[in-house]
Structure 1
Amino acid sequence: MAAEIAIYIDADACPVKDETYRVAGRYGLRVYVVANSFLNLPREPWIERVVVGDGFDAADDWIASRAGPGAIVITADVPLASRCVRDGATVLAPTGKPFTDASIGLALATRNLMQDLRESGLVTGGPKPFSARDRSAYLGALDQAVNRLRRAAAR
């Protein structure tokens, strides 16, 4: 029997929690909302709040230890995405961009380069603001990921 599909949200700065709840509710999926502090969540039996300690990468470690085939991880954290992709999870950025075996190496290299440029003062800005187009792309990507995993589980 295939593993049940579960969604793990790296929630501290995630702008698409409500969209995730909507999609998960439509498909009857369990959602784990993982953060370092208390977050107000809808009162649904299929949404579970997970508050981890303040330790460095505590939320990442909690998610990565559970992510594998049948899991969908929502994060903008590239190192966490890399860990989860390596373990067979489906990983999406809040913009809908999938992290895959083919793309994670470049994503890590870009992240490290940008971090170095920011630390040296050559780059002072952050990422572009989250947009309605990003939100729409995310909804489509999450729906596709759920359906792909459901088809795979039915085989």
Structure 2
Amino acid sequence: MSETSQAITLYVDADACPVKPEIYRVAERHRVKVFVVSNSFLQVPQDPLIERVVVSSGFDAADDWIAERASRGAIVVTADIPLASRCVKAGADVIGPTGKPFSEASIGMALATRNLMEDLRAMGDVTGGPKPFSAKDRSAFLSALDVAINRLKRAGFGATAP
């Protein structure tokens, strides 16, 4: 990494993240620092690039920790739409575990859909949750993460020093 480039940083909303092993592999390959943020202790690989962050059990504590650090050059992995919105507004790249990127253009619709589904569930009109996580989702996530890292590298952001 040159002295003028900023390192790419990955923030993982980790409590229910199904793609942590994939994130660790991609981070190692690209030499990207990863913060695994959760409300409880999670096992993470012994690697100087991977840092476990355990926040208080307060409501949205992990989201707040990530959102406070999200900025241009950061990649946030989360399925939490309100957190995704906060991070997109801060300039971070945001990817859902299914590979769906969130952007300024898509986040409004994602929030509206989330709120509608929440209301329908509260009224009992919708009782199911999201579809099960699939191998196709995992593959789409890996592709989206690689695209995001390579786009940031082209924009002048770099890897973490060895």
Which residue of 2 is the match for residue 44 of structure 1?
A: 47
| Counterpart-to-counterpart distance in 2, 1:25 and 1:3 | 18
User: What do the CA deviations read for 1:37-79 (whole angstroms, capped 9, x no partner)?
Assistant: 0001111111000000011000000000000000000000000
Paired letter, 1:74: V
Which residue of 2 is the match for residue 64 of structure 1?
A: 67
Instruction: Pick the aligned partner of 1:74 from 72, 77, 89.
Output: 77
| Counterpart-to-counterpart distance in 2, 1:90 and 1:50 | 20
Runs of 4+ in 1 over 3 A off after TM superposition: none
Paired letter, 2:60: D
User: What do the CA deviations read for 1:64-98 (whole angstroms, capped 9, x no partner)?
Assistant: 00000000000000000000000000000000000
Paired letter, 2:36: V
Percent identity between matched residues is: 69
Instruction: Pick the aligned partner of 1:128 from 128, 131, 137.
Output: 131
* Structure 1: segments with no counterpart, 5+ residues: none
Which residue of 2 is the match for residue 149 of structure 1?
A: 152
Q: Secondary structure at the match of 2:105?
A: coil
Deviation, structure 1 residue 130 = 0.2
Q: Please give the residue correspondences for 1:76-155 in structure 2 after superposition, counting only pairs within 5 Å.
A: 76-153=79-156
| Counterpart-to-counterpart distance in 1, 2:69 and 2:139 | 27
Paired letter, 1:148: R
Paired letter, 1:110: T
Q: How many aligned residue pairs are there?
A: 154
| Counterpart-to-counterpart distance in 1, 2:92 and 2:149 | 12
- After TM superposition, the score normalised by the length of structure 2 is 0.94
Deviation, structure 1 residue 144 = 0.5
Instruction: Pick the aligned partner of 1:54 from 57, 74, 94.
Output: 57
Q: Secondary structure at the match of 1:32?
A: strand
Which residue of 2 is the match for residue 35 of structure 1?
A: 38
Deviation, structure 1 residue 3 = 2.0
* Structure 2: segments with no counterpart, 5+ residues: 158-162
| Larger relative contact order, structure 1 or 2 (CA cutoff 8 Å, min sep 6) | 2
Which residue of 1 is the match for residue 5 of structure 2?
A: 2
Root mean square deviation, CA, Å: 0.7
Deviation, structure 1 residue 2 = 3.2
Query: Given that residues 72 and 89 in structure 1 are in contact (C-alpha distance below 8 angstroms), is that contact kept between their aligned partners in structure 2?
Result: yes
Paired letter, 2:84: A
Query: Given that residues 75 and 91 in structure 1 are in contact (C-alpha distance below 8 angstroms), is that contact kept between their aligned partners in structure 2?
Result: yes
